[in-house]
Chain A
């Protein structure tokens, strides 16, 4: 495309993301919700051999498909990428390239959520790095190159562990060496050179970096703060979920016995993440950093739900991933709206914005309420399910985590109070509200989705169930 037509790039990207979203909607509508109980839970499967067993001594297959868990993540991804494309309409720098990387990123993430072969999963997992690195380091703000590199190194270090783990898993599977997740989950893994608990630890590290779990979370605030708005939305909304998804799909499913051994540690780490993340959130001055730390706290709930290893709690964890994607995505969109106008994200400088930006204030407040777990909004159901499911198994970590909600209410309300409802100042008197259609459409869509899931969570859980049941069965 010639340079003069840079403006066309965003429309093309929008058409592409909307088309992908529409396709995934069709998939969801055609998704058989009853599957997973009796037959194979995976649907829309496509399979082909990539590296042949004959010569290399092992199989790598192109094996894609989704179950209830996968398709939930897929629809979240495609939705948030439409949002991300819309909120990127104001990008002026190297537009074509920007949207190219966004679309490559979408490919990678969708690949992660629908791979049924460990090596394919790893390929897509790595493919996501390059666009993210460039998106943050070129289109970011502040110490962008430092943050991008930090993000990259953390993830790559994690994925090196993951690859070692995958290889050992694949090569010690009997009777055939395979990387196929479905086959692996049915075969016995034994006689490996590394004990399984070490492999579990290796793979866990990779996912824990991504989720992120304390103490591996330090890349997240930096990456979020310096990334452009759309990338923050995707990072918080989708990429973090890759960690949780990986734990459910690979760690728990392939190594159930080790999962039981580790569960108490995971639950403790989860509680620490929740409280530590929340405490740090309380004292953030930068709006984006604040949302980023709150993500650490909220992802702690996901880990807690996974660690409890029960049908209810894992449903909660998966739902929490979905709702957190919507809520935090919306929060980042709103922060982006404010930053684009005020050119600052410093909470101390902002005050009384509700007077000049009523729409922004309303939507952001709603998103905040959803984040702190107000009933009838999306966040509540997920957190409730997690706590219900994990209370019996891990009473103490659950009780500790519940305080995270309390702290959450604290930092959300305090922040909203400070930036929107403080005394109006002259400096911000002429700030325009969110007025462009490409800002309003995602705001409206996400708000609707948050309310819909909050009022009727079975919209999501009915799809999720089929996947989770199958994971629980293997335990």
Chain B
């Protein structure tokens, strides 16, 4: 047994950072509150740098947590997302929410949970990490205490989240019953010995686990909470919900299904494939009807989850790499889009799609980024969305899921329509009388430019990133 606590240095640093941010807020009121997001983001960036020390080192902590390239990739990935969200929510927290220290502290803590989900190779650790992330999110969603919508969203999210956690946990306990172990590696070897006496229990367990995780990543038919939670949450938390929470769910899915259940691939792949198809179709069709940008993004994310699940259905080393690549591209794009939405909301206080009218005149940089991000989500060339979707669909067809890829292509075309509706408001509709050009804060400008650079980088030359990811996903199947 290897009890090397130095493996967790980045997590310890995050914990310390969370405590520091809360303490700064509490004990140094003379320190201007507007500094807190920069403290948090700097700390996150430094920690991300530190975690690069574990590149190409495959070690584990008592078999329950594996620190390999896959973990390192997601460590850096989650910390950078959290840093962006912290920076982007500075104004919002100052103006509309109280207790900035707690807000940033909880975001940082939730990142630890997300990293744990990617790193865990043992069921209980995975579950606890998932809960750490989920509880942080319950609080964050309802953080706007004086906004009824936020409270309602938080309550819905909490109830459905608790319900899904229970299902997931029940599924895990059945797995323990069938295989006699909670370690992924032991589960895989127990399953490959193939005692079929428990096949019904195994099936139940898989159903429950998929349903539980389906809730967390908001796949159809477990998606009902998403639009309400997205709409009610403070807008920066909506961004956080649609990025880290989804990505962590997929990090866990890949690790669990690749490490433990790959041997019984045939027993669950059809379920995931069905969920993927339903998500793609329903998410993209319902999105056509939306008028609120947050609800639109909720349904669009449901559709995107469908594309990603396609990669889980035909799980192999190749599809896992393609999935993580698409996930990365999608997250960068989504963050860029949300930064634009947050900046626009800060300046105008509006979040309906029609309120985007005249953005091209009033904030050209934001409008440009909005257009780029929307086209990337729709999967048009030059932007990240095209290349990553292309590679993902190709990987899925390689595994024989032609029909899923077909649905993916068709729903991508449908999605272009509603993304264009948003763009039309921003570009074609003229601003109303007396609406003047807006001064976008430098932080938001910088974030927008940086994230759009990321979108183009992935879209134009994904080869480097892809080989890094390919190196990381190799460790999923050991």
Chain A residues packing against B (C-beta within 8 Å): 50-52, 55-58, 119, 122-123, 126-127, 129-130, 133-134, 137-138, 145, 149, 152-153, 156-157, 160, 163-164, 167, 171, 193
Q: In the complex the two chains form, is A171's CB within 8 Å of B428's CB?
A: no
* Chain B: minimal CB distance from A440 (Å): 33
Interchain residue pairs with CB less than 8 A apart (23): A50-B463, A51-B391, A51-B462, A51-B463, A55-B467, A55-B470, A56-B391, A57-B395, A119-B390, A123-B381, A123-B382, A123-B386, A126-B381, A127-B381, A127-B382, A133-B420, A137-B427, A138-B428, A149-B420, A156-B413, A156-B416, A160-B412, A167-B394
Q: In the complex the two chains form, is B466's CB within 8 Å of A56's CB?
A: yes
Smallest CB-CB A-B distances: 4 pairs: A123-B381, A160-B413, A137-B428, A126-B381
| Chain B stretch 368-405: residues in CB contact (< 8 A) with chain A | 375, 380-382, 386-387, 390-391, 393-395, 397-398, 402
Q: In the complex the two chains form, is A163's CB within 8 Å of B409's CB?
A: yes
Chain B residue with Cβ nearest A164: B409
- Cβ–Cβ < 8 Å partners of A57 in chain B: 318, 394-395, 398
Query: Chain B interface: which size bin?
Result: 20 to 34
* Chain A: minimal CB distance from B398 (Å): 7
* Chain B: minimal CB distance from A231 (Å): 15
- Cβ–Cβ < 8 Å partners of B470 in chain A: 55
Q: In the complex the two chains form, is B381's CB within 8 Å of A160's CB?
A: no
Query: What is the CA–CA distance of A193 and B405 in the complex, to the nearest angstrom?
Result: 13
* Chain A: minimal CB distance from B270 (Å): 19
Query: What is the CA–CA distance of A348 and B138 in the complex, to the nearest angstrom?
Result: 68
Query: What is the CA–CA distance of A157 and B409 in the complex, to the nearest angstrom?
Result: 10
Query: What is the CA–CA distance of A130 and B382 in the complex, to the nearest angstrom?
Result: 12
Q: In the complex the two chains form, is A130's CB within 8 Å of B375's CB?
A: yes
Query: What is the CA–CA distance of A393 and B40 in the complex, to the nearest angstrom?
Result: 75
- Cβ–Cβ < 8 Å partners of A52 in chain B: 463
Interface check B406, CB cutoff 8 A: yes
A119, A123, A130, A145: which contacts B428 (Cβ < 8 A)? Answer: A145
Query: What is the CA–CA distance of A347 and B463 in the complex, to the nearest angstrom?
Result: 57
* Chain B: minimal CB distance from A410 (Å): 39
Q: In the complex the two chains form, is B321's CB within 8 Å of A160's CB?
A: no
- Cβ–Cβ < 8 Å partners of B416 in chain A: 152, 156
DSSP class of A's interface residues: helix, strand, loop or mixed?
A: helix
* Chain B: minimal CB distance from A443 (Å): 31
Chain B residues packing against A (C-beta within 8 Å): 318, 321, 375, 380-382, 386-387, 390-391, 393-395, 397-398, 402, 406, 409-410, 412-413, 416-417, 420, 424, 427-428, 461-463, 466-467, 470
* Chain A: minimal CB distance from B383 (Å): 10
Query: What is the CA–CA distance of A44 and B381 in the complex, to the nearest angstrom?
Result: 25
Query: What is the CA–CA distance of A157 and B381 in the complex, to the nearest angstrom?
Result: 15
Chain B residue with Cβ nearest A157: B413
- Cβ–Cβ < 8 Å partners of A56 in chain B: 391, 394, 466
Q: In the complex the two chains form, is A160's CB within 8 Å of B394's CB?
A: no
Chain A residue with Cβ nearest B371: A130
Q: In the complex the two chains form, is B467's CB within 8 Å of A160's CB?
A: no
Q: In the complex the two chains form, is A145's CB within 8 Å of B394's CB?
A: no
Q: In the complex the two chains form, is B402's CB within 8 Å of A130's CB?
A: no
- Cβ–Cβ < 8 Å partners of B380 in chain A: 126, 129-130
* Chain B: minimal CB distance from A459 (Å): 35
Known A50-B463, A137-B427; 10 more pairs at CB < 8 Å: A51-B391, A51-B462, A55-B463, A55-B470, A57-B318, A57-B395, A133-B420, A152-B420, A171-B394, A171-B397
* Chain A: minimal CB distance from B365 (Å): 14
- Cβ–Cβ < 8 Å partners of B375 in chain A: 130
Chain A residue with Cβ nearest B429: A145
Q: In the complex the two chains form, is A122's CB within 8 Å of B427's CB?
A: no
Chain A residue with Cβ nearest B428: A137
Chain A residue with Cβ nearest B413: A160
